[in-house]
Each structure stands twice: as structure tokens, then as C-alpha cells.
Chains A and B, each alone.
Chain A
Amino acid sequence: MPNIDVNGKSYETDEEGYLVNLGEWNKDVADYIAKTESVNMTEQHWEVVDFLRSYYDEYQIAPAVRVLTKAIGKKLGAEKGNSQYLYELFPYGPAKQACKIAGLPKPTGCV
């Protein structure tokens, strides 16, 4: 298993870079993963990442992108609940990239 080192601590990831232990996640790890994805974390990015973490807390899954988009629209407003907004923040896919930064597993049904 590959590892990433952040602030002197080692974190286990899978071969695609997703954190293995959800509970180990913290903002520094998120920042680190974001850098490897060439994502520059802004307040808007954190909003989505925080949303994903609370979604996971509630439902125990990472949502599919369609479900995420709809749920974000409901929670944060229609101007954010659309794929254009989310893909601008996370160019390689909001579900895949944002989930990775949020320390969640890859969304079910995502190949």
C-alpha cells in the first residue's frame, strides 16, 4: 500500500491515492491531497469538501456526481448545484477529486 507523509505522519492510501482510513483525515491531509491533484483550495472548495464529509456521516457513502450536484443545489443554492460550477472547482470531476480530498472512498458506481 502506498503512503503519503504529511507533517511527519504517514497515512495509508490505496493505489489511486484515496485515504484508507477515513478517521485519519484532517485539513492538512486534505491540503496535501489537493496539491497532488493540482487543486488550489479556496473557501468554495472547502464548502464542497465539508458538504461531502457531512453527507458521508449521514449516509455512509460517497455520493455519485449526479446526486452530489442535486444535494449541493438544495443545500447551497442553484448557482452552486450545477456541474459547471463544480467542475470549475474540481476539473477532474467533483465526485472523484473532491471525495479524494475529503478523505472519502471513491463514489460507488464510479469507474
Chain B
Amino acid sequence: MSGDTIKKFLFVNRKAPYGTVYALESLEVVLITAAFDQDVSLAFLDDGVYQLKKGQNTKGIEMKNFSLTYRALEGYDIEKLFVEKEAMEARGLTKEDLLVDVTVLDRQAMGQLMDDQDVILSF
């Protein structure tokens, strides 16, 4: 799309995958947004950090394993992924447990990231 204004979009993800449809819906909107050459960031807070957990295998529940799609984001030029430090700690997770490269932010820095956006979409 050839517009002159590029806006800063932040997708806020706070739900675990599979139990509800929020995580998958968010990912689909992210991919669509990528087509419009905007400045897209993704934030993962609370249970949202579980979306990025390595080793997901959905054969047993007969749902699509969309965790693999997070690895495609780089090819869509979406490279700004932020994860909430406190959420990871509460869940006993570290960066090494996640399937993509992320920047870890504490809650205060997360708040500043939100303040810095033009558009926020919350899932």
C-alpha cells in the first residue's frame, strides 16, 4: 500500500493458545497488517507468553499448531517481539523456552512501549 503515513501498531497478546481463539485471531490480523507496510510490534503479557512456548504438538487435540507461524514473522518483516519479564518468571519460563527471538521487558518498560504507539490492538 502506498500511503505516506506509517503508523506504529502494537498487538497485545495476553491469552494462552488453543483454550480460546484469541491467540490465533491475533496472529492472523498481524499477518494481514504486515501487508500494509506498517510499523508492527507484538507484545506478550500474562498467559500470552505461552503462545511462544517451544515444543507445541497439537496432534492429540486435533488443532492446527500455529506456533510454527511465529517463526514466519521474520519473513514478513515483523521482528519486534516483546515479552513481559514478570509473566515469564511467574511461569518458570526463560527466553530459551521460547521458539523465536524476543526482547524481554519489565512491566514498566512495557507500559512505556504502549504509550509509544499510534494504534493498539488487544487480544
Contacts and interface: CB of A to CB of B under 8 A. Distances in A.
A and B touch in the complex (CB under 8 A): yes
A35 interface: no
A66 B68 CA distance: 19
A71 B72 CA distance: 11
Contacts of A109: 31-32, 34-35
B72 to A, nearest CB: 4
Contact of B76 (A58, A60, A67): A67
B28 interface: yes
Given A71-B75, A108-B28, A64 B34 contact: yes
Interface residues of A, number: 12
Interface string B30-47: 011011000000000000
A53 interface: no
SS class of chain B's interface: helix, strand, loop or mixed? helix
Interface string B50-91: 000000000000001110110110011000000000000000
Contacts of B31: 61, 64, 108-109
Contacts of B72: 58-59, 61, 63, 67
A67 B78 CA distance: 11
A78 B37 CA distance: 22
A67 B34 CA distance: 10
A59 B34 contact: no
A80 interface: no
A94 B64 CA distance: 25
Given A64-B76, A67-B76, A108-B28, A59 B68 contact: yes
Given A58-B71, A64-B35, 13 more contacts: A59-B68, A59-B71, A60-B65, A60-B66, A60-B68, A61-B31, A63-B72, A63-B75, A66-B35, A70-B75, A108-B31, A109-B31, A109-B35
